[in-house]
Amino acid sequence: MINALQNGPITCAINAAAPGFETFNGKTIWANSTTTDPNDLDHAISVTGYGTLGGVDYWHVRNSWGTSWGDQGFFRVERNKNYIGIELECSYANMSATPVQVRAQAEQPEEEKPFLLPINNVVDTEKPKTPACRTPKTTFENGPVMYGPRPHEEIAEEDLPAAWFWGDINGTNYLSDIRNQHIPQYCGSCWAHGPTSSLADRVNIMRNNAWPRVTLAPQVIVNCHAGGSCYGGNPGGVYKFGHDHGIPDDTCQQYKAKNPLKFDCDDM
């Protein structure tokens, strides 16, 4: 996790049903509820860094419940203890620093209909009896795509910095905005928010925070059924959709916190 964080934030799963977590104010370092059962993982967050405070090693984490939760939307959890299962299930991807038009209108025949991804790796398209924001495990259709060695395979442990936070690298904040997946209404789309936030951060990092700063659109991910719906989903679908189609900026699609009618997924 620390090696992967050198290239940008990563998306991890947690047990958000742990007692007291929903009302956690973020003023202290969370140190409770160790879990080793992947079936306890029901929420996706972004790990944005790590450090040590008062002799306690911690992960620095961004949630998707708005700035009124935790410490302005962030919180810290003790490291190397697997509290709330944060060290069980993480994923990430590298991004292109240059925007690419992947579905040019000029190349689209008039008769082409909006594409719709097949329903797979989804918690449920109907409201489940027990809300779950994400699948217990991130899965990738046909496996993950590898273009080279992973960070832990090429960065020596002794070369890793003792602390790192992408919200303050020599005074520069590379992180995309804190968002609230439940505004204007409840939507279990953490599986879409976690990856799009981490991926947007990585674009900002690669572009050296150049204007305009990037925030990727989770509503497009929900519209295109790229892993799930407002009833939960699989973060792996977000990475596959981004790899195959790209992910547009948030300004292209306002977040509505709702499942669209028939999961409309067109160029507009």
* pLDDT tier, 260 (very low <50, low <70, confident <90, very high otherwise): confident
Backbone angles phi, psi at 13, to 5 degrees: -100, 150
Q: What CATH architecture applies to the domain 2-91+112-143+167-263?
A: Alpha-Beta Complex (3.90)
* pLDDT tier, 103 (very low <50, low <70, confident <90, very high otherwise): low
Residue 136 has pLDDT above 70, yes or no: yes
Residue 162 has pLDDT above 60, yes or no: yes
Quick one: pLDDT at residue 102? Answer: 59
3-state secondary structure of 105: helix
Backbone angles phi, psi at 46, to 5 degrees: -115, 125
**Cβ neighbours for 259, distance < 8 A, ≥ 6 positions apart:** 125, 222, 229, 230, 231
Q: For the chain, how are helix, strand and coil distributed in percent, rounded to 5?
A: 20, 20, 60
Residue 122 has pLDDT above 70, yes or no: no
C-beta of residue 62 within 8 angstroms of C-beta of residue 8: no
Least Cα distance to 164 among 266, 47, 18, 34 occurs for 47
Quick one: pLDDT at residue 252? Answer: 87
Quick one: pLDDT at residue 74? Answer: 98
Query: For the chain, what percent of residues have pLDDT higher than 70?
Result: 86
Question: So where are the chain's domains?
Answer: 2-91+112-143+167-263
Least Cα distance to 18 among 56, 45, 55 occurs for 45
Report DSSP letters for 186-220, one per residue. --B-HHHHHHHHHHHHHHHHHTTTPSSPP-B-HHH
- Among 122-131, 189-198, 217-226, 229-238, the range scoring the smallest mean pLDDT is 122-131
Per-residue pLDDT reduced to its tens digit, 35-83: 989 899 999 999 999 999 999 999 999 999 999 999 999 999 999 999 9
